[in-house]
Amino acid sequence: MNRTDSGDDDASLVKRALGGDQAAFSLFVQRHQEPLYRFIRRYVGDADEAYDLSQETFVAAWSALSRYDASRPASAWLRRIALNKCRDWSRRRKVRQFFFRAVDIDSPAAAGLSAMPDDGGDEAEQARRLDAAIAALPGTLKEPLLLTVFEGLSHQAAGDALQISAKAVETRLARARKRLAEALSGL
């Protein structure tokens, strides 16, 4: 289990927080905020939206603290809440685009990206393009990719988190990689 400078593991921090110790929850948040933010950032592809969604995740976690199962890792529990927040965000965004007939702001056209092949230039630009390409993936492909490649989960653990089989994770991961290769080769 994770520990902070206080020496408490996640389960004891949650127990203390449930007892009214707000400092314990603050330690819990500090311990998990950076990896959770990175996960959400990769999902949505926008730093400001990721910040907002990570805050929403911790608010939801606070509300659901009594349902935390201390026998499971807190990081997996938080990732599951974050995943649901990201899915909700994605659905809201699609509805807004439908009603306003807006161009998808994650699309290469809206970002002003050239259709020229990458000449191996600026690494920050390449990272931004990769983030945009990952954010543009459908959730069914993006989620297994993020959980396995970026979060380091096994296919089985990612399948458990997504409530699908390990084989489905493997298949979706292969499709996500193919889509990313296609998207990045066209830029």
Residues 12-36 have pLDDT tens digits of 999 999 999 999 999 999 999 999 9
Inter-CA distances, 94 with 82, 88, 90, 116, Å: 18, 10, 6, 28
Inter-CA distances, 183 with 11, 104, 113, 117, 186, Å: 42, 15, 12, 11, 5
Domain boundary among 53, 84, 102: 102
Domain boundary among 39, 74, 102: 102
pLDDT in tens, 46-98: 889 999 999 999 999 999 999 999 988 899 899 999 999 998 888 777 666 55
- Are both 93 and 4 inside the same structural domain? yes
- Are both 180 and 152 inside the same structural domain? yes
- Are both 124 and 143 inside the same structural domain? yes
> Which residues neighbour 49 within 8 Å (Cβ) at sequence distance 6 or greater?
89
Strands of the chain, DSSP E: none
- Are both 62 and 124 inside the same structural domain? no
- Are both 98 and 21 inside the same structural domain? yes
Domain boundary among 102, 121, 152: 102
User: Residue 78's pLDDT is what?
Assistant: 94
- Are both 4 and 87 inside the same structural domain? yes
Tally the domains of the chain.
2
Please count the other Cβ atoms lying within 10 Å of the Cβ belonging to residue 86. Answer: 24
Task: Please give the model's pTM, rounded to 2 decimal places.
Answer: 0.63
- Are both 180 and 130 inside the same structural domain? yes
Identify the CATH number of the domain in which residue 181 sits.
1.10.10.10
- Are both 68 and 95 inside the same structural domain? yes
Identify the CATH number of the domain in which residue 49 sits.
1.10.1740.10
- CB of 31 within 8 A of CB of 37? no
Average pLDDT estimate for 154-183: 90
Half-sphere exposure (CA, 13 Å, Cβ side) for 97? 11
Domain that holds residue 5: 1-102
How far is 51 from 68, CA to CA, in rounded Å? 23
Task: Please calculate the CA angle 61-67-68 and round it to the nearest 5 degrees.
Answer: 70
